[in-house]
Amino acid sequence: MNTTPAPAEDLIVLGKIVSVHGVRGDVKVYSFTDPIDNLLDYRHWTLRRGADVRQAELVWGRLQGKILVAKLKGLDDREEARLLAEFEICVPRSQLPQLSMGEYYWYQLEGLKVIDQAGQLLGRIDHLLETGANDVMVVKPCVDSLDDRERLLPYTEQCVLTIDLNAGEMRVDWDADF
């Protein structure tokens, strides 16, 4: 592992090292990709925890339940591996696959203004949650929003009417009182 960082604004977080696995320096990884083992398609990771940024190379990885177990090049000691807990696993945005029309990465939705059918600004998408049934957008109040309420909106075809990344907004079918 070396410590040459990639440009921070170009990095997308795809997972997180959560702990060690075994005695040979393997790490347990929580993946944010869908399916979760897609993270193993990326061989070069930028590991980031606060201001600490490192480069790592994936040697191998495997799915184990709802997490991944991964071996990083040059990491052969359990105690050394333990020091990587809580590091985010990032890759450059340019390495992400192109999506089909109408598909979006979560990072593209974060920060969008959310506007209801009456033209009222409900807030901005702060982040998204995976719930199992469908993803949920956490919409937090912002300057000029209708009120100071945080809202949880389903990321479904019934709720999301249009997404305009250039305008930085999403139109939704959602009752502001709900």
**Residues 15 and 39 sit within 8 Å (Cβ to Cβ):** yes
**Interatomic CA distance for residues 135 and 156, integer angstroms:** 8
Identify any residues that bridge with 48 across adjacent strands, giving them in sequence order. Answer: 53, 88
Estimate to the nearest angstrom the gap between the alpha carbon of 99 and the chain centroid.
16
Q: What's the N-to-C CA distance of the chain in angstroms?
A: 49
**Interatomic CA distance for residues 21 and 27, integer angstroms:** 5
pLDDT score, position 132? 81
pLDDT score, position 3? 46
Confidence of residue 131 (pLDDT cuts 50, 70, 90): confident
**Interatomic CA distance for residues 105 and 9, integer angstroms:** 16
Q: Please state which CATH number belongs to domain 106-172.
A: 2.30.30.240
Residue 112 in this model has a pLDDT that exceeds 60: yes
Predicted structure pTM score: 0.78
- Is the sign of the CA dihedral 125, 129, 131, 132 positive or negative? positive
Residues 73-107 have pLDDT tens digits of 999 999 999 999 999 999 999 999 999 998 999 99
Residues 23-81 have pLDDT tens digits of 999 999 999 998 999 999 999 999 999 999 999 999 999 999 889 999 999 999 999 99
Domain-by-domain residue ranges, the chain?
A: 8-94, 106-172
Q: Please state which CATH number belongs to domain 8-94.
A: 2.40.30.60
